[in-house]
Amino acid sequence: MKSNFPLKSRIIALLAFPFLTLGTAQAQVLVSSELITSLTANELTIPFILTVQFDVDYYKLTYNTVDVNGEPTVASGAVAVPQGSQCDIFPMAVYCHGTVLRQLDVPSENNFESQIPQRLGGMGYITAAPDYLGLGVNEGFHPYVHAESQATASIDMYYATVEFIESLEGTSFNGELGITGYSQGGHAAMATLKYAQDNGLIDDMGIVAGAPMSGPYNMSGSQAEVILSNEPYSNPGYVIYLLMSYETAYGTIYNDLGDIIQSPYNETMLEYFDGAQNEFDMGTPNGILPNQIDEFMVDTVLMNMMANDDHPVWQALRDNNNYDWQPQMPLRMFYCSGDEQVPFENSIAARDSMIANGAEDVDALNVGAGFNHGQCVLPAVLATRTFFNNTITPCDLTVSTEDHRGFAELNAWPNPAVNEVRFSFNENRGVLTLFDVYGKRVAEQNVNTNEITLDISRYASGVYVAIFQGDESMQRTTIVVE
């Protein structure tokens, strides 16, 4: 049986390939760097939803890491670097991306999801976005939702980024790191946080906060239950991806895909999951496969799984759980209750297990009542931004607190809030307006004092944008309603 290389195997690999790192920011992790694009703060701003302060230079990095067997390999990723005269010392974020099939549908190729690390860069975070193994420049099959290879690819991307930033003039890292990611990236972010803690890397990396978003942390529980139920599942392609991934990592799932997947899907799926063709996205297999697992998996395999808790598939799923541990850093899991792809119970199970294990600063927050997986992205990212801003030391702005669009920061507390939220203003007359993440006005109130309390008990859980328009100024902030 292959294993997802424990620490001992990784140390052996490091001895054979000494310019990799583990636990110290040594040289020679970084292989190459290339500027991909430059973006202005205006281009990165989403009116009324997200205002950024910094222009961004976006780079592709290649770096040394290890594969699922602990052997040396080269991977790629992207780095968003804030630019501007306000300051030059920034915190860092690692952003782990969601599910992709195409080998080049990754952050280092400036794909659609790159907007998230780019905007984190615009908000003042040097943001590293690993492509993972089997994607970007790294060849072979991508070990999908494989906890340890996601973690090591992300950690080595972090060290490569530190080395890269040290080579730049006028930009420095302040030593504080937050780790986040969405969907598969939520699982990857959680895996990275856990791996770093288990291997004594928290202080060395400067990890001060974690914010996994909508991730399948309980693979053998909450995530498996929805897939194995009799209810239709929206993304059956995930199942094929997972089985092929765990065969790549462990070598115990099947000898031939036909051993576990019914004909004709065992043959047609091989073409669709060859990411190197860069032809098919997840919509292709999802559109071809039946929505119920018993219509494409071999019946005897399903029966054996149901009857045998020690089946190789269950072993692999349990090996990639990352919900039952005791985080030593502040950690928030953001989710939406209407998520049809990653059940929100993953976050609840993680929160309850972590608190039971003695974690002191952990919570799971619903940022979109009824929002599906796609709709949850924006409110989860905005909530992560608020959490990071309240936990990590930001760039020390030495100029006006007003950004390039003329909005000053609006003070709001508590945030997140439950029944009411208080606002304070820099003048005593104007209008306070509350928008949801789609730009819909949900509340408007005339203001004739410097401070008010707003009743939010009737509003759905989620992220809202508050804007105060005074006679002489405008103020803005985002709030999370629990």
Which CATH number fits the domain that encloses residue 430? 2.60.40.1220
Give the C-alpha separation, 233 to 86, whole Å.
48
User: How far apart are the C-alpha atoms of 432 and 476, rounded to whole Å?
Assistant: 10
Of the three residues 391, 423, 438, the one that is the final residue of a domain is: 391
Reply yes or no on whether the pLDDT at 462 is more than 90: no
Q: What total number of domains does the chain contain?
A: 3
Residues 204 and 223 both lie in one domain: no
Beta bridge mates, 128: 79, 94
- Which pLDDT value is given to residue 47? 75
CB 260 within 8 A of CB 269: no
Question: Is the pLDDT confidence value at 405 over 50?
Answer: no
Q: Binning pLDDT at 50, 70 and 90, where does residue 396 land?
A: low
In a shared domain, residues 449 and 477: yes
Work out the burial of residue 197: count CB atoms within 10 Å of its CB; fewer than 13 is exposed, 13-18 middle, 19 or more buried: middle
Residue 227 has φ and ψ, to the nearest 5°, of -75, -40
Query: 140 and 68, same structural domain?
Result: yes
Averaged pLDDT for residues 145-158: 98
Specify whether the CB–CB gap between 457 and 420 falls below 8 A.
Answer: yes
Average pLDDT over residues 122-126: 96
Lowest mean pLDDT among 13-17, 85-89, 336-340: 13-17
Report how far residue 433's alpha carbon sits from residue 419's, in angstroms, rounded to the nearest whole number. Answer: 17
**Over 90: is that where the pLDDT of 74 sits?**
yes
Indicate the pTM of the whole model: 0.84
The encoded tokens of residue 459 equal 């509003």
Residue 69 forms part of a structural domain: yes
pLDDT band of 439, cuts 50, 70, 90:
low
Specify whether 363 is located in the same domain as 433. Answer: no
Confidence of residue 91 (pLDDT cuts 50, 70, 90): very high
Indicate if 13 and 144 belong to the same structural domain.
yes
Mean pLDDT of the chain: 89
- List, for residues 270-294, the tens digit of each pLDDT value: 999 988 888 899 999 999 999 999 9
Structure tokens at 349: 């199970």
- Shared domain for 163 and 96, answered yes or no, is yes
Q: Is 399 domain-assigned?
A: no
Alpha-carbon Rg for the chain, nearest whole angstrom, is 23
Residue 338 covered by a domain? yes
Biggest alpha carbon distance in the chain? 73
DSSP state of 417: B
The residue ranking higher by pLDDT, 22 or 385, is 385
Are residues 23 and 153 located together in one domain of the fold? yes
Q: Which of 256, 289, 319 is the last residue of a domain?
A: 319
Q: In angstroms, rounded to a whole number, what is the distance separating the alpha carbons of residues 11 and 49?
A: 45
Tokens standing for 179?
């780790």
Average pLDDT over residues 129-144: 97
Q: Give the C-alpha distances (Å, rounded to integers) separating 463 from 14, 121, 342, 372.
A: 44, 20, 20, 15
| 212 lies in the same domain as 224 | no
The answer on 38 and 66 residing in a single domain is: yes
Supply the pLDDT for residue 50. 83
Residues 62 and 170 in one domain: yes
Residue 470 forms part of a structural domain: yes
| Mean per-residue pLDDT, 251-266 | 96
| pLDDT of res. 12 | 32
State pLDDT tens for residues 98-113.
999 999 999 999 999 9
The DSSP-derived string for 416-444 is SBSSEEEEE-SSS-EEEEEEETTS-EEEE
Whether residue 397 lies inside any domain: the answer is: no
Residue 21, pLDDT score: 41
Instruction: State how far Cα 387 lies from the chain centre.
Output: 14
With 70 as the cut, is the pLDDT of residue 267 above it? yes
Predicted confidence (pLDDT) at residue 84 exceeds the cutoff of 80: no
Query: Taking a C-beta distance cutoff of 8 angstroms, is the pair 481, 386 a contact?
Result: no
- The answer, yes or no, to whether residue 403 has pLDDT greater than 70, is no
Q: What's the domain range around 267?
A: 219-319
155-179 per-position pLDDT tens digit = 999 999 999 999 998 899 999 999 9
Residue 398 covered by a domain: no
| Torsion sign (Cα): 211, 231, 280, 372 | negative
Give me the CATH number covering residue 71.
3.40.50.1820
**Cα(392)–Cα(470) distance, rounded to whole angstroms?**
30
> Exposed, middle or buried: residue 115 (CB in 10 Å: 0-12, 13-18, 19+)?
middle
Stretch 471-476: mean pLDDT: 87
Report pLDDT for 406.
55
Are residues 178 and 43 part of one domain?
Answer: yes
Highest mean predicted confidence (pLDDT) among 11-20, 183-192, 300-309, 386-395: 183-192
Number of H helices, E strands in the chain: 14, 17
Q: Which helix (H) or strand (E) holds 411?
A: strand 411-413
The answer to whether residue 24 scores a pLDDT higher than 90 is no
475 lies in some domain: yes
% of the chain beyond a pLDDT of 70: 91
Query: Within 10 Å of residue 36's Cβ, how many Cβ atoms?
Result: 17
Q: Tell me: do 65 and 124 sit in the same domain.
A: yes
Count of Cβ atoms closer than 10 Å to residue 439 Cβ: 11
Is it the case that residue 459 has pLDDT exceeding 80? yes
Instruction: Report yes or no on 326 lying in a domain.
Output: yes
Inter-residue contact 213 to 120 (CB < 8 Å):
no
Residue ending a domain, among 263, 294, 319, is: 319
CB 214 within 8 A of CB 190: no
